[in-house]
Amino acid sequence: MKRRTILAGAVAALALTTGAFADGHAKTKVGFIFVGPVGDGGWTYEHNQGRLAVEAEFGDKVETIFQESVPEGADAERVITQMALSGADLIFTTSFGYMDPTNAVAAKFPNVKFEHATGYKRADNVSTYSARFYEGRAVQGHIAGKMTKTNKVGYIASFPIPEVIRGINAAYIHAKKVNPDVEFSVVWAYTWFDPAKEADAATALIEQGADVILQHTDSTAPQAAAQKAGNVITFGQASDMSEYAPMPRVSSIIDNWAPYYIERVKAVMDGTWESTDTWDGIGPGMVGIGEISDAVPADVKAEALALKDSLADGSYHPFTGPLKKQDGSDWLAEGETADDGTLAGMNFYLEGITGDIPN
Amino acid sequence: MDLSAISPTLLLASLMVAATPILLAALGELVVEKSGVLNLGVEGMMITGAICGFAIAVETGSPVFGFIAAAVGGAILSLIFGLLTQYLLSNQVATGLALTLFGLGLSSLLGQGYVGIRPPAVEKLDFGPLADIPFIGRVLFTHDLMVYLTLALCVGTWAVLKFTRAGLILRAVGENHDAAHALGYKVVKVRLLAIMFGGACAGLGGAYLSLIRVPQWTEGMTAGAGWIALAIVVFASWRPLRVLLGAYLFGGVTVLQLNLQAAGLAIPVEYLSMSPYLITIAVLVIMSAPRKGGKARASLAAPACLGRAFHASH
């Protein structure tokens, strides 16, 4: 066979496959773009659990595909395009940095539905969804403030984006509330997943006297570093990380995406899918608090659980005034609670946190 | 900012740990370059060693087997480089770069099933009362065996190169391979052995990262450590004990960078992150600046046959 004939054959085959996908195929194809490996034990692991739950729920009616460790930026656009071309009906892009690539690809594929996690840019075929992790951070801050003996809490932050800054603020004010002497040291790792860097950052914080490590990065490396150091407590991030319980991991924030993913896939199947903005917290179950281990005294555990319950039923908002910004200017008056708009774009520290947010 | 929060004792202690992987890799590369071969594949060999060591340590449950496997893995990979450059006379620079790229790809393939797994723990050595000596005890006597083996290797390399017949042959091959050949030494054999030693050392350095320092496996986890090792060899003007100094300097900057950030230093983190590399460039410039006599300093110490192919005509 001549080369040209082969090429022509390949083009014809391609046309056939895409044609088949276009005219209402039986299976709904759902794609997932992951920022880390599915075995990271944190963020991506939980998104993958959501994917598996979709498969379990719909069985033969659904086909899921995923691509892991996709870098944020130009590469992401290529990968998302590829996934849209392969006939996906619904694509979940599961990291903040995929926001612009997702919207760029969505503009080119009006018939494909997109769901972008933790972002704020929407279109007719792009929804956004996120969890109110800061509610979980409030519970962590409470436990951290009670548990620290050195009054120094280390915080491994990823990127200076509103989601991360919200977490730092929420943890800080709740630690401060129960322990006025508490100080936060924040290290910006500029990565979501880099065990070597995360371990180094945790070690540096511990060496400077921090005996509580909070992390907003996805690997279990800081847990390992804390375990090595001994008398340091940590919290599981995004996933339970219970293999490090009861010490150093004393509790965790667990992301539970499964119900949302199932609901959205169902909407696509039923043809009722619409562009929405979902932001759920502890109440609806999108954010879970992992079991508080025995390393935490019973009274602190009870307080933390009470705090969790008040967050769940909506009787308490983590950002309730009076609160001031870092520069001393007023933010929330007595009894006032933060509105979602401000929270979604939060780019300032609250009063008492030292250091600057990098640009 | 509260600089008093940075404890010099702990800083020095973690500096020794942070410097160990690059020290191992740099020592290996030093021996390779002393034999007249320039292998730019250090990064690739390191990361291959990291995954070989990690995988075997996880499968067998023994870090010791892991380190042995890492050394073997690094040496095998370097052997590819050796065969290509010594027998097929390929360009050393291009082959070395290819080796790095190949190693990075190979390691992520091998590592597919090992992401997120915990390796068996490596115990720290117990020096008993020695560790309780103020300052010195914490800095020197609280590490794992590999730190001390690496220091021993450093001194050993120095002694072998300086005092033994084998070291003299190695240097002769590196300085003038034609003369060494004329004297009856097997240039290619000596170089192959040196290359394999370099590969084994780089592999050990990688495994130190994946088994002790982090300890976890991720793609690309060496993150440029191999390139720093290459720079250190030049920085040290091909002397083993200066390699030790260079490795501690680079390890120190890395550790200090994070500590300064944790202490709340007000300068942007990006400057701190790039500082080790800026220092590399500065040192290379200073080292190679011409002396009064006109000869570049670095060229005075570089093995004369570095990077040149050898082909015996008979």
Interface test with A, best of B261, B269, B274 (most A CBs within 10 A): B261
Residue B312 lies in a domain: no
Interface test with B, best of A208, A219, A349 (most B CBs within 10 A): A208
Q: What is the pLDDT of residue B231?
A: 87
Asked whether residue A16 carries a pLDDT value surpassing 80, the answer given is no
Largest CA distance in chain B: 69
Q: Which of A162-171, B9-18, B106-115, B230-239 has the highest mean pLDDT?
A: A162-171
Residue A354 lies in a domain: no
Q: What is the pLDDT of residue B61?
A: 93
Q: What is the pLDDT of residue B313?
A: 66
Q: What is the pLDDT of residue A18?
A: 44
> Is the domain of A38 the same as that of A186?
no
Assign B314 a pLDDT band (cuts: 50, 70, 90).
low
Percent with pLDDT over 90 in chain A: 70
Residue A353 lies in a domain: no
Peptide bond into A248 cis (omega under 30): yes
Q: Compute CA distances A336 → A132, A152, A199, A333, whole Å.
A: 18, 29, 39, 5
Do A193 and B218 make contact, defined as CB atoms within 8 angstroms?
A: yes
Distance CA A242, CA A155 (A): 20
Nearest to A358 among B116, B117, B268 (CB): B268
Distance CA A108, CA B166 (A): 67
Residues of B in contact with A194 (CB under 8 A): 218, 221, 223
Tell me which of A22 and B272 has the higher pLDDT: B272
Residues of A in contact with B118 (CB under 8 A): 220, 224, 243
> Is the domain of A128 the same as that of A200?
no
Q: What is the pLDDT of residue B257?
A: 77
Asked whether residue A254 carries a pLDDT value surpassing 60, the answer given is yes
Q: Which residues of A touch B (CB under 8 A)?
A: 37, 39-41, 45, 69, 154, 185, 187-188, 190, 193-197, 199-201, 203-205, 207-210, 219-221, 224, 243, 354-356, 358-359
Among chain A residues, the shortest Cα distance to B271 is held by A358
Residue A170 lies in a domain: yes
User: Nearest to residue A153, comparing CAs of A191, A181, A188, A194?
Assistant: A181
Q: What is the pLDDT of residue B300?
A: 58
Asked whether residue A246 carries a pLDDT value surpassing 60, the answer given is yes
Q: Rg of chain B over CA atoms, in angstroms? A: 20
> For residue range B125-184, what is the model confidence (pLDDT) as tens digits?
778 788 888 888 888 888 889 999 999 999 999 999 999 999 999 999 999 999 999 999
Residue A150 lies in a domain: yes
Distance CA A312, CA A139 (A): 12
> Is the domain of A169 the same as that of A219?
yes
User: Nearest to residue B150, comparing CAs of B61, B220, B59, B212?
Assistant: B212
DSSP for chain B, please give it.
Answer: --GGGS-HHHHHHHHHHHHHHHHHHHHHHHHHHHTT---TTHHHHHHHHHHHHHHHHHHHS-HHHHHHHHHHHHHHHHHHHHIIIIIS---HHHHHHHHHHHHHHHHHHHGGGGTTPPPPPPPBP--GGGGGSTTHHHHHSSSBHHHHHHHHHHHHHHHHHHHSHHHHHHHHHHH-HHHHHHTT--HHHHHHHHHHHHHHHHHHHHHHIIIIIS-S--TTTTTTHHHHHHHHHHHTTT-HHHHHHHHHHHHHHHHHHHHHHHTT-SS-HHHHHHHHHHHHHHHHHHHHSB-TTS-BHHHHHS-TTTT-------
Residue A87 lies in a domain: yes
Show the CA angle centred on residue B32, arms to residues B222 and B90, nearest 5°: 90
Residue A326: what residue type?
Q
The verdict on B152 touching A (C-beta cutoff 8 Å) is no
Nearest to A185 among B213, B223, B262 (CB): B262
Distance CA A129, CA A256 (A): 12
Asked whether residue B268 carries a pLDDT value surpassing 70, the answer given is no
Q: Are the C-beta atoms of B16 and B125 separated by less than 8 Å?
A: no
Q: What is the pLDDT of residue A1?
A: 45
| A39: closest CA of chain B, how far (Å) | 5
Distance CA B141, CA B129 (A): 10
Distance CA A311, CA A313 (A): 6
Interface test with B, best of A200, A205, A217, A243 (most B CBs within 10 A): A200
User: Nearest to residue B44, comparing CAs of B206, B213, B162, B287?
Assistant: B206
Residues of A in contact with B266 (CB under 8 A): 355-356
> Is the domain of A10 the same as that of A20?
yes
Asked whether residue A302 carries a pLDDT value surpassing 60, the answer given is yes
> Is the domain of A56 the same as that of A141?
no
Asked whether residue A14 carries a pLDDT value surpassing 50, the answer given is no
Residue B307 lies in a domain: no
The verdict on B107 touching A (C-beta cutoff 8 Å) is no
Calculate the average pLDDT of chain A: 89
Tell me which of B106 and B251 has the higher pLDDT: B106
- Taking residues A213-224, report their average pLDDT: 90
Distance CA A24, CA A113 (A): 15
Among chain A residues, the shortest Cα distance to B122 is held by A228
Distance CA A186, CA B264 (A): 8
- Taking residues A149-176, report their average pLDDT: 94
> How many inter-chain contacts (A to B, CB under 8 Å) are there?
92
Q: Which of A243-252, B276-285, B305-314 has the highest mean pLDDT?
A: A243-252
> Is the domain of A35 the same as that of A20?
yes
Among chain B residues, the shortest Cα distance to A220 is held by B116
Nearest to A204 among B215, B216, B262 (CB): B262
> Is the domain of A75 the same as that of A212?
no
Q: What is the pLDDT of residue A94?
A: 95
Nearest to A203 among B14, B219, B223 (CB): B14
Q: Are the C-beta atoms of A18 and A87 separated by less than 8 Å?
A: yes
Asked whether residue A251 carries a pLDDT value surpassing 80, the answer given is yes
CB neighbours of residue A79 within 10 Å: 18
Helices (H), ranges, A218-331: 221-229, 258-270, 298-312
Distance CA B261, CA B268 (A): 9
Tell me which of B269 and B162 has the higher pLDDT: B162
CB neighbours of residue B290 within 10 Å: 10
Provide the token pair at A125: 């075929």
Residues of B in contact with A220 (CB under 8 A): 116, 118, 216
Main-chain phi, psi angles of A92, to 5 degrees: -95, 125
Domains contained in chain B, number: 1
State the CATH number of the domain containing residue A51: 3.40.50.2300
Assign B293 a pLDDT band (cuts: 50, 70, 90).
low
Residues of A in contact with B10 (CB under 8 A): 207
Strand partners, A187: A156
Tell me which of A2 and A299 has the higher pLDDT: A299
Assign A22 a pLDDT band (cuts: 50, 70, 90).
very low
Nearest to B258 among A37, A40, A187 (CB): A187
Residues of B in contact with A185 (CB under 8 A): 262-264
CB neighbours of residue B180 within 10 Å: 23
User: Nearest to residue A179, comparing CAs of A228, A208, A212, A204?
Assistant: A212
Q: Are the C-beta atoms of B267 and B215 separated by less than 8 Å?
A: no
Domain extent at residue B198: 3-301
Helix (H), strand (E) at residue A331: strand A330-332
Look at the block and give the residue holding tokens 């951070």: A137
Q: Compute CA distances A351 → A184, A329, B221, B267, whole Å.
A: 12, 9, 37, 21
> Is the domain of A78 the same as that of A38?
yes
| A282: closest CA of chain B, how far (Å) | 27
Assign B224 a pLDDT band (cuts: 50, 70, 90).
confident
Nearest to A204 among B118, B209, B258 (CB): B258
Domains contained in chain A, number: 2
Q: What is the pLDDT of residue A250?
A: 94
> Is the domain of A214 the same as that of A313?
yes
Q: Compute CA distances B90 → A226, B83, B290, whole Å.
A: 48, 9, 31
Q: What is the ipTM of this complex?
A: 0.72
Q: What is the pLDDT of residue A4?
A: 55
* DSSP summary character for residue A191: -
Do B258 and A201 make contact, defined as CB atoms within 8 angstroms?
A: yes
State the CATH number of the domain containing residue B27: 1.10.3470
> For residue range B34-47, what is the model confidence (pLDDT) as tens digits?
999 999 999 999 99
Percent with pLDDT over 70 in chain A: 93
Residues of B in contact with A203 (CB under 8 A): 14, 258
Asked whether residue A285 carries a pLDDT value surpassing 70, the answer given is yes
Lowest mean pLDDT, pick from A247-261, B14-28, B218-232: B218-232
The verdict on B46 touching A (C-beta cutoff 8 Å) is no
Residue B63 lies in a domain: yes
Asked whether residue A296 carries a pLDDT value surpassing 60, the answer given is yes
Q: Compute CA distances A54 → A27, A40, B147, whole Å.
A: 13, 20, 48
- Taking residues B207-233, report their average pLDDT: 88
Q: What is the pLDDT of residue A243?
A: 83
Tell me which of A270 and B288 has the higher pLDDT: A270
Interface test with A, best of B104, B258, B270, B274 (most A CBs within 10 A): B258
> Is the domain of A183 the same as that of A59?
no
CB neighbours of residue B193 within 10 Å: 16
Distance CA A122, CA A106 (A): 10
The verdict on B215 touching A (C-beta cutoff 8 Å) is yes
> Is the domain of A44 the same as that of A65?
yes
Distance CA B83, CA A29 (A): 49
The verdict on B259 touching A (C-beta cutoff 8 Å) is yes
Assign B270 a pLDDT band (cuts: 50, 70, 90).
low
Q: How far is CA A168 from the centre of its chain?
A: 14
> Is the domain of A81 the same as that of A205?
no
Residues of B in contact with A356 (CB under 8 A): 266
> For residue range B230-250, what is the model confidence (pLDDT) as tens digits?
988 988 889 999 999 989 988
Residues of A in contact with B269 (CB under 8 A): 188, 190, 358
Assign B259 a pLDDT band (cuts: 50, 70, 90).
confident
Domain extent at residue A138: 133-254+288-344
Look at the block and give the residue holding tokens 């010490």: A247
Residues of A in contact with B215 (CB under 8 A): 199, 224
Do B216 and A208 make contact, defined as CB atoms within 8 angstroms?
A: no
Query: Which residues does A127 contact at the CB level (< 8 Å), separation at least 6?
Result: A113, A114, A115, A116, A264, A274, A275, A276, A277, A278
Asked whether residue A20 carries a pLDDT value surpassing 60, the answer given is no
| B220: closest CA of chain A, how far (Å) | 9
- Taking residues A285-305, report their average pLDDT: 93
Interface test with A, best of B54, B115, B260, B272 (most A CBs within 10 A): B115
> For residue range A303-322, what is the model confidence (pLDDT) as tens digits?
999 999 999 999 999 999 89
